[in-house]
Amino acid sequence: MPLENVNISHAKDHKIMEKETKKAGISAEISQPVADFIAELKKELRLIHQITSEEDLEELEITQASENMTLIYEKIRNIVDYKEDHLIKRSAIERILRRNLLIEHRQKEFSEQFINELIMAGYLSRQEAEKKLRDKVKKILSKYQKLIGKIRNFDNKSWVIGIASCEIEECLFPMATRRALVRAMFNSLKDKIVFEGREKNIAGSEKDIQTYIAVLRSLSKVDRVSLNFNLFKIYCPIWFGGGHEEKTIRDVAANLAHHIRTIQTKSYNPLSFRIAVALRRQAVYFNVFYEVVLNNIDKIDKILGNKESLQFASQLVSENFYDREMGKFWKRVKRSLFFLVITKILLAAAVEYPYDLYIIGTVNFMPILINLIFPPVYLTILSATIKRPSESNSVLIAKGIEEIVYKENRSKIAPIKIFERETVKDQILNLFFLLTFAVSFGIVIWILSRMNFNYVGIAIFLFLFSIVSFFNALVRQPIRELLIARSREGFVGVLIDTLSIPFVRIGKWLSTKFSQINILLMILDVLIEAPLKVFVRFIQDWTGFLRRKKEEMI
């Protein structure tokens, strides 16, 4: 289908945005997508300020004891279930919805309890939970309860829960300015995507949807659930309209399986992954430019009117961006270490020791100690080698921002070529890549055998080494993506990459598979979280009951 809706409100409100652009005093030299983005950003910030000043705050009844218990539980769970920072809130919302709607099969309205849980878990402040917002959440929960009630397939119900978590997150933590940035990047670069080989004759609508998905992946770092939500808004816009009559809910339920198949087809297309890789550099430009505009919203027109001012502001923001990302990097390293120790290393040791004791008949402590100590030490050493991007990198980012901002520089944006899926040369290189797996694993297995590791010890070491290698690549990736001009690696660097990439690939596969059967998460969700939340609700009810009794006595 054509991608009119990818521009979301942009296509419908183009004339309005042009008026806003002129009203905002934005120079005609600015490219239209960027001008529209700035005008919309100003409009959204005015709206946010207006809503904040009109908030109708209402005291929610939450006891300190229940809040402390929930906070501790959430911290433990976030260690066990490793996710990127920007996905934690949505995942928490999805978990609460899944427990209430799929496990407890809650039929009655539970918006107050839902809001209370988010506050107790530290995801929402009491100030944010004003009455108008709670009314909106109540309506959203109501329509999803009705929709889930009409769906029989459990997988489809679970899929809808993911969509619901995204819509509620969007309601509680609005990110309209980020959506405007996605539109700006999409409209700025969609005509720069050039397909070669078998992809050359791809339909315009398919090219647009794959480019849009790639922008979401490279700029917003969406996960599978968030991507489903963004595509569901395109293919089923009626669900996000104002009214939700019984007929609308019936129609959406009847067509849901078709929408899910369509969205899966689009999102699993490897084309969007290749485009996303090609757009990573432009994503850095747009993310830094977003910070430039946000930090200088009152004087952005003057900054854009002078290229030297924009260069200076871009370089300054880039430096601040590096500092913030380095702080996030070390936070990710700490979380990764906790995650590895709790979910992987201790479990592996729990397997190796009984095997040595009961099967082999004697315990060799050296392999067990190596498997316990080596993974966290290895990750820490690798993490210490990461370097903060240099000032010259900030200069390159500033130049890239100029290209996307000014009309006269748009021609300087090089076409982004997406090549044929696989050539004969690629097939030969892929075969050689498979051989590197045998070489890499063979070398490690040989070394471990010489150190008297048994088969189980070797398997555990390979498992942990692969997981750590993947986590190292995962936590370093946001810093690596900031590097616009990367230095050419020497022979030693190429050799290290050749031998380590197989472990990273296996580690990624293992992480994906084991995340689906995370025993600790199952224990937390079924045996701890559900009873804990029932107990917390009892404490709240009991506290309220005691308060009323005191008031009656006085």
Q: What tens digit of pLDDT does each residue of 295-320 get?
A: 998 888 899 988 899 999 999 999 99
Residue 319 domain flag: yes
Instruction: Report the domain count for the chain.
Output: 1
- Domain hosting 488: range is 310-516
Q: In terms of Cα–Cα distance, which of 176, 173, 414, 385 is closest to 285?
A: 414
List pLDDT tens digits, range 200-222: 667 778 889 999 999 999 999 99
Q: What angle do CA 159, 161, 162 make, to 5 degrees?
A: 65
- Where is average pLDDT lowest: 49-53, 66-70, 111-115, 532-536? 49-53
pLDDT band for position 8 (50/70/90)? Answer: very low
Q: In terms of Cα–Cα distance, which of 54, 65, 379, 33 is closest to 183?
A: 33
pLDDT at 6: 45
Q: Burial letters for 469-497: b for 16+ Cβ neighbours within 10 Å, e otherwise?
A: bbbbbbbbeebebbebeeeeeeeeeeeee
- Where is average pLDDT lowest: 201-205, 364-368, 489-493, 519-523? 519-523
Highest mean pLDDT among 115-124, 188-197, 441-450, 470-479: 441-450
List pLDDT tens digits, range 234-271: 999 999 986 667 888 999 999 999 999 999 999 998 88
List pLDDT tens digits, range 55-102: 444 444 444 544 566 666 666 666 666 677 788 889 889 988 998 898
Residue 450 domain flag: yes
- Where is average pLDDT lowest: 83-97, 107-121, 351-365? 351-365
Q: In terms of Cα–Cα distance, which of 308, 278, 277 is closest to 401?
A: 308
Neighbours of 420 (CB within 10 A): 12
Residue 402 domain flag: yes
pLDDT at 433: 83
Region 5-13 average pLDDT: 44
Residue 424 domain flag: yes
Region 516-542 average pLDDT: 60
Residue 226 domain flag: no
Beta bridge partners of 193: 416
pLDDT at 42: 85
pLDDT at 200: 62
Residue 73 domain flag: no
- In which region does residue 431 sit, left (phi positive, over 0), alpha (psi from -120 to 50) or beta (all else)? alpha
Report yes or no: 81 and 87 within 8 Å, Cβ to Cβ: no
Region 29-40 average pLDDT: 87
- H helix intervals, 305-454: 307-340, 346-354, 365-384, 391-405, 424-450
List pLDDT tens digits, range 374-427: 888 888 888 888 889 999 999 999 999 998 998 776 655 556 666 655 667 767
The dihedrals phi and psi of 363, each to the nearest 5 degrees, come to -100, 120
Residue 459 domain flag: yes
Residue 370: pLDDT over 50 = yes
Proportion of the chain above pLDDT 70, given as a percent: 73
In three-state secondary structure terms, 104 is: coil
Residue 448 domain flag: yes
